[in-house]
Structure formats: C-alpha cells, structure tokens
Amino acid sequence: MGLSQKGLADASGVSLRMVGGIENGATSVSTATLDRIGIALHATLAELVSDPVIQRSAQIDRVGWRGEKGGEGVLRRSIDTRREVELWEWRLESGERYQAAADPVGWHVMIFVVEGLLTIELETGAVNISAASHVFDSAQTHAFINAQEGAVRFFRCTVW
C-alpha cells in the first residue's frame, strides 16, 4: 500500500504519535484504534495482530485488552468467511468497563454470557444480560460493564 506513518495516521484518524508508538512496540493500543488502522489498511483486526505465517482460519489466543483490575479480552479464533467472524473471550472484574467505538455500518456483535451479569451500554439504552445471549448492531458506540460484585465472563463474536 505504501503509506507513510503520517499517511496512515491521516487515513485512520489515529494520531501520528500513536502510529509511531505502535510501529515501535512502545504503545498499548485499544482494539478500537486497531480497527481504525485496519479499516485504513483494508485489513481485519485478526490480520493486524496475528502471526502472518499462521493460516487465516486459525486459533489466535492474543490478548487485545487488559483492564485495570485484571480483566482481559482475548481474541481466541478468527475464521475466514465472506468477510470475517472473530470470537473473543472476555472477563471483566467488578467495576471494570471496556469502551468500544462504533463499528462500520453492517457490523454486529453477538454476546454469550456464561457467568455473572453483563451490562451493555448502547446509544439506545442499557441492556443487562445474565447467562444468556444477545445480538446488537455495533455501528454505535458501546461499552461492556461489570457493575456487580464478582467477575463476569462472556464471549463476544464480532460479525461483518
């Protein structure tokens, strides 16, 4: 593609400093920032974080987010489809929140809660999910929140 750091920063809306920090491995970056860079590069999040020698439909097992209290979001698998489906396993400790940017139009998120009570804060209102599943249009800002005592564990499947 031949983009300079400045070109990538301009195309993705990510600061030049952040792009440089990512390239040097000196910056911790959110999945939302990686998504914006991926869109500018016409690459999926899995393509950005995966080992390029591993086949595209593969087990990834890479941490993409770490909470202040020990929670984490781990990209478990990525499977080639018409576009792609990503399967993430998440754990939010009590009081943790993961804030996500809006995805492009046409993207959706499927949530499968296996332990605890997950609150999903959407532009249209909050949804509480306990040991169940939920699908929402992720072309809006959204946050995953654990407002209860104890951990909440859930799987997030991003589809586009």
Domains in the chain and their CATH numbers? Answer: 1-43 (1.10.260.40), 54-159 (2.60.120.10)
Q: Which residue has the higher pLDDT, 136 or 118?
A: 118
Quick one: which H or E segment has residue 36?
helix 31-41
What's the pLDDT tens digit per position in 14-37?
Answer: 999 989 888 887 777 777 888 889
Q: Which two tokens stand for residue 115?
A: 């332990």
| Averaged pLDDT, 110-138 | 89
Q: What is the pTM of this model?
A: 0.54
Checking if the pLDDT of 55 tops 70, the result is: no
107, 92, 106, 105: which is closest to 143 by C-alpha?
92
What is the spatial distance between Cα 101 and Cα 117, in angstroms, rounded to a whole number?
22
